[in-house]
Structure 1
Amino acid sequence: MKTVLLMGFEPFDQEPVNPSWEAARQLDGFKIDQDVMVVARELPCAFATAGERMLQLIDELRPAMVIATGLAPGRSEISMERVAININDARIPDNLGEQPVDTPVVDGGPAAYFSTLPIKAMVKAVREAGIAASVSQTAGTFVCNQVFYRLQHALVGSAVRSGFIHVPGESLMPLSRLVDGLRVAVSVAWNTSVDAVEVGGQVS
């Protein structure tokens, strides 16, 4: 059985829940097809531990694909992230009280990495399912971007495709619709080898 590792974050910024994890965990055990299954795991919202936990999970599970998800407060669409940048610039402290400003994610690493997921095909399919979605050109500079960058850095040159999805808060998208949208996005990510070209990008 091949594994698609789907990760979400614990709550942060004094919020009681994080919809990225609430949605991801509902897909734990979902079979994309007969020999591919989603395994969902939670990440800490902390610069010092999130990346290390992610790398441990990759080493433990040896996934065939990795998708991280995180909350983007204020966004109303499921956002397929295009690019991770090599900078930490936290507007608020993380869950361990750390607030790095203008520090690299990886010393000496490239300025950015692109997602290796078929992000436009994913957006197209989620929209066709009646759920709001877009391509996003910025994953921010908080822990989500750090995890996205470290994920791409760890898997560069490998056969394992990977990327990041930002999700709306529950006030802007009910959890049931978010789960449905993620299910579609993950399935299309696995089953699509060449990305679509007809969906334009959108900064969100």
Structure 2
Amino acid sequence: MTRVLITGFEPFCGESVNPSWQAASMVAAEPPAGLTVTAVQLPCVFGESVVALRRAVRESGPDLVVCVGQAGGRPGVTVERIAVNVDDARITDNAGAAPVDEPVVPGGPAAYFSTLPIKACVAAIREAGVPAAVSNTAGTFVCNHVAYGLAHLIATELPGVRGGFVHVPWAPEQVPDGTAAALPAATVAQGLRALLLAAAATAEDLRVTEGATH
């Protein structure tokens, strides 16, 4: 039985919900066959989010870690390829902090690639009927902060553990006028279940193009 830790974030920037947590909690409530899934909500706060992630990893002892965050405006579930060692906040986090050009981990590598089989994950999400793509930037806000923090933790302390970050669109209730892309949390959860199964079963990623020109 593969042990999975999935995380989502609390609401931020004045929102009342965060679809990343809505979907993550749904996955834990109805996990895919063969997986034991623990869901933990992270604070949308620089520093504290990685502390909470580290604690969750220690307590759950996962084989696989998938952190999920909201990327409003994206049309589908996007599996992140890379996390960069910089915090550069355009808005404040939930503690009022807005670091500019600060490292996530002082002295750490400039970036880490995800250790998830990202292309196999995207293919599985699409096969589940959910729009998906590879993303080449997780931004420089708390999502990237957690993505980098997770990757650094895996690289330095958790040999054998695989993990990465996934962004999900707004929920429909966040865009009631329908002017931006949105997916119901249940649909996102369906895609995340497919992703987890693919990540647990795939030793070597697919060699197919998912690149971008810009």
What TM-score do the two structures reach when normalised by structure 1? 0.95
Report the counterpart of residue 169 of structure 1 in structure 2: 170
Report the counterpart of residue 199 of structure 2 in structure 1: 189
Q: 1:203 to 1:91 in 2, by over 3 A?
A: farther
Could you say what secondary structure the match of 1:110 adopts? coil
Report the counterpart of residue 6 of structure 1 in structure 2: 6
Coordinate RMSD, CA, aligned? 1.5
Report the counterpart of residue 66 of structure 2 in structure 1: 67
Distance 2:13 2:212 in 1: 27
Contact 2:2 2:200 in 1 (8 A): no
Q: Which amino acid aligns with 2:3?
A: T
Distance 2:124 2:89 in 1: 33
Q: Which runs of 5+ in 1 are unaligned?
A: none
Q: Which amino acid aligns with 2:137?
A: T
Residue pairs, 1:104-183, within 5 angstroms:
104-156=103-155, 158-171=159-172, 172-183=182-193
- Report deviation, 1:31: 4.2
Contact 1:9 1:42 in 2 (8 A): yes
Q: Which amino acid aligns with 1:169?
A: W
- Report deviation, 1:198: 2.0
- Report deviation, 1:112: 0.1
Q: Which amino acid aligns with 2:18?
A: N
Report the counterpart of residue 26 of structure 1 in structure 2: 26
Distance 2:167 2:47 in 1: 21
Higher share in strand: 1
Deviations 1:39-59 (A, max 9, x none): 111000000310000001111
Distance 1:203 1:183 in 2: 29
Distance 1:29 1:177 in 2: 14
Report the counterpart of residue 200 of structure 1 in structure 2: 210
Distance 1:37 1:197 in 2: 29
- Report deviation, 1:203: 7.5
- Report deviation, 1:126: 1.2
Contact 1:18 1:71 in 2 (8 A): yes
Q: Which runs of 5+ in 2 are unaligned?
A: 173-181
Q: Which amino acid aligns with 1:143?
A: V
Distance 2:56 2:193 in 1: 21
Could you say what secondary structure the match of 2:97 adopts? coil
- Report deviation, 1:146: 0.5
- Report deviation, 1:30: 3.9
Contact 2:79 2:165 in 1 (8 A): yes
- Report deviation, 1:174: 1.6
Distance 2:155 2:58 in 1: 15
Could you say what secondary structure the match of 1:198 adopts? coil
Deviations 1:60-106 (A, max 9, x none): 11111111000001111100000000000001000000000100000
Q: Which runs of 4+ in 1 moved over 4 A?
A: none
What TM-score do the two structures reach when normalised by structure 2? 0.90
Distance 1:143 1:40 in 2: 18
Contact 1:88 1:105 in 2 (8 A): yes
Distance 1:60 1:141 in 2: 28
